[in-house]
Chain A
Amino acid sequence: MGAVWGLALATFAAAAVEVVEALTVVLAMGVTRSWRSALLGSATALLALAAFTAAAGYALATWLPRSALQLGVGTLLLIFGLQWLRKAILRSAGRRPMRDEEAAYRRQTEAARAAGGAPHLGLDWFSFVVSLKAVFLEGVEIVFIVITFGLNAGDVPVAAGAALAAVVVVAGAGALVRGPLTRVPENTLKYGVGLMLASFGTFWAVEGLGTVRPGGQSLAWPGGDAAVLALLAGWFLFSRAIVARYRAVSR
């Protein structure tokens, strides 16, 4: 039962961070240009996302052996996770400003006002395309998170439900507040989620390397699934060591 809650909470937090970022863009487009086009762009992205997930899921499950799937998804997840971790490290070391949804919202609204362009076929194409791109991009990341966390815990429905809950909660909060969600502790969440993505990504990518050997069976980690905890501790220590190095160089 604890594992189910752990899976649900981890997926919820990871998905919520992505949804907050997409929400900021859609809000900025809706407020400054056209709600209809921004919402239509978001809906189109959700449809495209559903089609992408169904097609990719079918292709991966049908044609790829398990180890190749682990290698592909694990590698992508590892790269995403390390990108997040890098940003978190630079923020912790004072080398990059903290993510500020209010500032991001301001930048988006200024860009939207400056973009110009007359409506065509009843749509404001700038807000349509920008909203579509933001929702699709963040959505694909959520799909990868759900696949990895869900398959790793052997419970994809719980992971998918938690991600869906994050979408509903964040979108609902955005509708209530009618502005960007500045109080979400995004930087801390991103650090934690980056560590989780990097750990699960490492676990899966390395297991999946077994696909290159005859027979193609996955590699086994010493300690089995518990190795993820060791990887989590390892990535945390590496990240803190890099922060310390950056601070030492800054002095």
Chain B
Amino acid sequence: MRFVRAFLRFWYDFVIGDDWKIAAAVVTVLLVGAVALLAGAGAVLPPLLALGLGAAFTVAVLVDTRSTPR
């Protein structure tokens, strides 16, 4: 059990890192992109998703603006 927990912890640290909001932002935008693609979105989708990823990353980082000590 300890091994399984340590194993899962290792992969969580590896993939998610010390700020889960980044991974959540990336997965959310890609999910939205997948839905848009299935709904028939065309050639304009890649640049829009790039902008979406940039915006989601900005929000994920700036959420900490008030809580991160100087």
Size category of the A interface is 35 or more
**Do B14 and A140 touch across chains, with their CB atoms under 8 A apart?**
yes
B56 to chain A, nearest CB (A): 9
**Do A205 and B30 touch across chains, with their CB atoms under 8 A apart?**
yes
A14 to chain B, nearest CB (A): 16
B59 to chain A, nearest CB (A): 10
Q: A206-B33, A222-B46, A234-B50 are in contact. Are A82 and B22 (CB under 8 A)?
A: yes
**Do B53 and A209 touch across chains, with their CB atoms under 8 A apart?**
no
**Do B19 and A86 touch across chains, with their CB atoms under 8 A apart?**
yes
Q: Mark A217-251, 1 if CB is under 8 A from B, else 0.
A: 00111100001000100110010011001100110
A128 to chain B, nearest CB (A): 14
Residue among B14, B22, B53, B70 with most chain A CB within 10 A:
B53
Of B47, B62, B68, the residue contacting A242 (CB under 8 A) is B62
| A241–B59 alpha-carbon span in the complex (Å) | 12
B32 to chain A, nearest CB (A): 10
Of B43, B53, B61, the residue contacting A202 (CB under 8 A) is B53
| A83–B22 alpha-carbon span in the complex (Å) | 7
Q: Mark B33-70, 1 if CB is under 8 A from A, else 0.
A: 11001100001011101110110011011100110111
A133 to chain B, nearest CB (A): 7
| A85–B50 alpha-carbon span in the complex (Å) | 16
Q: A212-B38, A241-B58, A250-B70 are in contact. Are A79 and B46 (CB under 8 A)?
A: no
B23 at the interface (CB under 8 A from A): yes
| A96–B35 alpha-carbon span in the complex (Å) | 37
Neighbouring B residues of A90 by C-beta, 8 Å? 68
Neighbouring A residues of B68 by C-beta, 8 Å? 90, 95-96
**Do A249 and B37 touch across chains, with their CB atoms under 8 A apart?**
no
Neighbouring A residues of B60 by C-beta, 8 Å? 86
B4 at the interface (CB under 8 A from A): no
| A245–B65 alpha-carbon span in the complex (Å) | 9
A23 at the interface (CB under 8 A from B): no
B31 to chain A, nearest CB (A): 10
A89 at the interface (CB under 8 A from B): yes
Contact surface of B with A, Cβ cutoff 8 Å: 10, 13-19, 22-23, 25-27, 30, 33-34, 37-38, 43, 45-47, 49-51, 53-54, 57-58, 60-62, 65-66, 68-70
